[in-house]
Amino acid sequence: MTEEEALREYKRIRASIEKYKIHNGPSHLGMQQLFSLFSKNTTCQKDRLSHCVPKTVQYDKWIPEAINFQTYILQKDVPVNRAQLMATHNSFNTRADGCGLEDNLLRKLLRYFSDDLDIVIAQQEFSMYDQMSFGVKVIMLDPHYLDGKMRMCHGGNHFEWVDKLIEIVKKVFHVDLELHSEQLGCVPDSRLWDDGISEISQWLNDHPKEAVVIMINDNPSWDHEKNNLVLDPMVKHFKDLIFLTSDVKPGNHFPSMRQLVEMNKRVVITAANTYSMFGGQFIHPSFVQNGYPHNTLKLFSEYPRCGGYSYDHVVNFGGESCIFSIFYNGPEDMGLLTPSITDNQGLYNLQQLLDCGVNHISMDQSSPELAALGVWTWARNHPINPQVNQCTLLDNSANRWVSSLCDVQESHSFVCRVNNSFVLTSRTSSKFEDGPSYCRQLNGTFSVPITSKESRMLSDLINKSSLYTWINLRYTNQTFVF
């Protein structure tokens, strides 16, 4: 190599380092925020590598209760294929189950050499059982056939030169090698597919009043067209819990999550692409409009533009937390969903996605406290000991709901729905029961936001100088009615 060639190569490497520079950049701070939430208000039994043993995670029970309120009560009539649900990206790729080659230790080693070096392989910390327990409703799975068995692992990148090398090995050594470059990242001891499906089945058995949506992301290069090894374990473990494609009513009318529980059809399996439907008896077409790579946060924009998509469509957005030192930086290339950091160029926080009513908010590095940020209704620790005469006020400053007596000392406005828009009454009252009559005077109905986007639209109308506003939500007969 000449001196000139060496100088060009040096500049190329330096440019690569600058492009994927980690230290103190917004994406680095976003990742640090996500990691810091793993232990915030969360305890568990640790394994020898300091990861939480599955099913031992303890957290604030308000989190799943509030998320379940939004899922099963507030959206009781919203079809599951149009509902707003908390999701995790590559839900199976967890450190709790041994994924990631212990990247938490590798990170420390790389940081010893440079603050600008980093590696993040596993996209989740907690097991799928724990994710669903703290509020996740959509589980995303990738099947890969490797070493004679179907497994769950994270691959996906296509390298033509690797595939050519595999073909040469097969011809020279006369071996039937079922391997593809898109399976790089999978290892022979990657988790068995049957084992992961069994874990989801166990969670459903332990939570008989809950439902789950499973999204299958597959292609022939991953399962080597052995899709029976993907489908059969789901049929074996879920049995009659599966909501079949033949169960969909004419006109493509789906039940809500609550109705699925009432029907005891608590598993809805969807496909990320046409191939993943496997004939279409058990697996539904994708619910969402914008699949990968069109759903990355790099293509999102905040309220009111909301990524440029129509509110009438079902959408999901998520980022990518994988980092491979100077070679690949997922947060920089694909965006990242963070607790609070935003640069509006790929880094967004949960509230920004909630403001736009994103249906499936796909979290990387999920945790109980990250899921808590998906609660757009109740203020923390509300409702307080629901009683028969308990009503609800909107805390105008925080845009969150608080439980209240139905007859208070102060007078407040009421939220009315008029022609699919919100209007606030100019008249005020200290009594919740005055809401219907006050709203009728405006040719409207006493109302409550049903989606997070409606909540944002309502907050734009609220007079922040007033402390509270009545919303039409009341606790009676051991449940909330609105």
Percent of the chain whose pLDDT exceeds 70: 83
Q: What is the Cα–Cα distance from 143 to 153, expressed in whole angstroms?
A: 7
Domains of the chain by start residue, with CATH? 3-372 (3.20.20), 390-481 (no CATH)
Percent of the chain whose pLDDT exceeds 90: 56
Query: CA dist 288 to 230, 259, 291, 336, Å?
Result: 22, 20, 7, 19
pLDDT at residue 145 greater than cutoff 80 = yes
Q: What is the Cα–Cα distance from 242 to 234, expressed in whole angstroms?
A: 9
Res 154: pLDDT: 83
Q: Which of 7-11, 140-144, 272-276, 386-390 has the lowest mean pLDDT?
A: 7-11
pLDDT at residue 470 greater than cutoff 90 = yes
Res 320: pLDDT: 87
Interval 80-97 mean pLDDT:
94
Interval 25-43 mean pLDDT:
87
pLDDT: which is higher, 386 or 351? 351
Q: Which of 151-160, 264-273, 373-382 has the lowest mean pLDDT?
A: 151-160
Res 311: pLDDT: 53
Residue 441: is it exposed, middle or buried by C-beta count within 10 angstroms (0-12/13-18/19+)? exposed
pLDDT at residue 448 greater than cutoff 90 = yes
Phi-psi sector, 251: left (phi>0), alpha (psi -120 to 50), beta? left
Interval 380-388 mean pLDDT:
82
Would you place residue 233 in the very low, low, confident or very high pLDDT band (cuts 50, 70, 90)? very high
Interval 78-97 mean pLDDT:
94
Dihedral of CA 151/125/82/236: which sign?
Answer: positive
Q: What is the Cα–Cα distance from 5 to 445, expressed in whole angstroms?
A: 74
pLDDT digits (tens, 9 = 90+) for 240-281: 999 999 999 998 899 999 999 999 999 999 998 899 999 889
Res 253: pLDDT: 92
Res 202: pLDDT: 98
